[in-house]
Amino acid sequence: MKFKSLVLSALFLFLLTASNCSSSSEVNEAPEVDEVDTTDPVEEGEEVEEEEAIEENYSTMAVPADPGSGLEWEFQDFSDEFDYEAPAGNKGDAFYNKWDDFYHNNWSGPGLTEWSRDIPFVSDGLLQIPAKRKAGTDKISTGCITNKTRVQYPVYVEARAKIMNSVLANGIWMLSPDDTQEIDIMEAYGAAYSESAQASHSWYEVRMHISHHVFIRDPFQDYQPKDAGSWFMKDNIKWREDYHTYGVYWRDPWHLEYYIDGELIRTVSGKDQIDPLFYTNATNPGDTSTDIRTGLNKEMDIIIDVEDQDWRSSPASGNQSDTYTPTDNELSDTEGHTLKVDWIRIYKPVEK
């Protein structure tokens, strides 16, 4: 019996040892089958490459306009992708190297508009221009910025932007220093409804205004095209709902091409379309007896702004139903009343 007990004990110890060895072997093998971690550096690398590609596209993505025979587009370094932080009250060198945070002269804006330097700011990779009520008044406090480098034809200017959900005007445009020649790359009024007019605003929400002006300042006279094509509409797109690209190729004094989302959507060309009233005459502007028109020939400032325009907030009809200005309730939607610009890029055609 004693011998039998010894045999059984030995057998039990053998089985127990084998079981422990098997368990130990399984634990040691676990890191060898855990292969997931080895893929992480590759995935991170791919994300970095994708981010770099997005940044590169800002300056290298194709320009939709044709620069002309034997020419190619050259990126201009006063373009801006707003990849820095510029607080409203202290914007810093990255902003001020390229922009002034005001209009190109001391004018504070049309109608109920009151531009303020401490309104525009750059954050999260976006230029942002909000609008709010100036306390104790009916004024709209908002912003305007002007590029410090003027442009002149031939030039292509394009911006990627998301407009406000508002009856306020959102604009990306160019204006000569003497305020006599203007090119509107885009001008938009994005709201579907106006509380001040107590009426639908849907006609404007699906249209993008693309135009130009030539002015006589004294006495004031203004020509701009008023054909249906100056209010672009496509598939009932509500422009406030997403970012879009807006561009213009100012080829020469008598030729403009407008692009939205990379598509040529309007061409304005020739003296009868650019200045049919002879407002750009070198002398005696408006004198149709002598043709010495210059067309859109002057250097221009690039401007990005928000406006409460007097023709909308103080309409000639005087009717409340024609009065488009934001109410306090509408302005309480800060997100909806902020113009956002992802980037603006400028190109000149040069010889290959």
Q: Which two tokens stand for residue 110?
A: 């049309």
Share of the chain above pLDDT 70, in %: 84
Backbone phi and psi for residue 110, each to the nearest 5 degrees, phi listed first: -80, 155
Does position 160 have pLDDT exceeding 70, yes or no?
yes
pLDDT value of position 56: 52
pLDDT in tens, 81-120: 999 999 999 999 999 999 999 999 999 999 999 999 999 9
Give me the residue label for tokens 């914007």. 91
| Rounded-to-integer distance, Cα 131 and Cα 338, Å | 6
- Is 60 exceeded by the pLDDT of residue 337? yes
Tell me the pLDDT band of 281, cut-offs 50, 70 and 90: very high
Residue 320 pLDDT exceeds 80:
yes
For residue 8, pLDDT beyond 80: no
Pick the more confident residue, 17 or 180. 180
- For residues 7 and 331, give the distance between their C-alpha atoms in angstroms, rounded to a whole number: 92
Q: Where would I find the beta strands (DSSP E) of 51-152?
A: 71-75, 99-100, 113-115, 121-123, 126-130, 132-133, 140-142, 144-147
How would you classify the pairing of strands 169-175 and 181-188?
Answer: antiparallel
pLDDT at 39 over 70: no
Contacts 24+ apart (CB under 8 A), 217-220: 217/178, 217/179, 217/180
Rounded mean pLDDT, 215-231? 97
pLDDT at 293 over 70: yes
Could you write out the DSSP letters of every residue in 200-222?
E-HHHHT-EEEEEEEEEETTEEE
* Cβ-count burial 321-338 (b if 16+ within 10 Å, e if not): ebbbbbeeebbeeeebbb
Which residues are designated catalytic? 182, 187
Q: Averaged over 240-245, what is the pLDDT?
A: 98
Helices (H) and strands (E) in the chain, counts: 7, 21
Asked whether residue 24 carries a pLDDT value surpassing 60, the answer given is no
- Token digits for 348? 């000149």
**Amino acid code (one letter) for 190:** G
Cis peptide before 326 (omega within 30 of 0): no
pLDDT at 58 (0 to 100): 80
Average pLDDT, the chain: 88
pLDDT at 57 (0 to 100): 80
The pLDDT tens digits for 301-316 are 999 999 999 999 999 9
Q: Which residue spans within 103-219 are E strands per DSSP?
A: 113-115, 121-123, 126-130, 132-133, 140-142, 144-147, 155-162, 169-175, 181-188, 193-194, 199-200, 208-217
How many Å from the N-terminal Cα to the C-terminal Cα in the chain? 105
**Per-residue pLDDT averaged across 21-30, rounded?**
36
Q: Is 178 helix (H, G, I), strand (E, B) or coil?
A: coil
Query: Helix (H, G, I), strand (E, B), or coil: what is residue 45?
Result: helix
Ordered structural domains, the chain, with CATH: 81-351 (2.60.120.200)
Q: So what's the pLDDT on residue 275? A: 98
* SS3 of the chain: helix, strand, coil, percent, to 5: 25, 35, 40
Check pLDDT > 70 for residue 74: yes
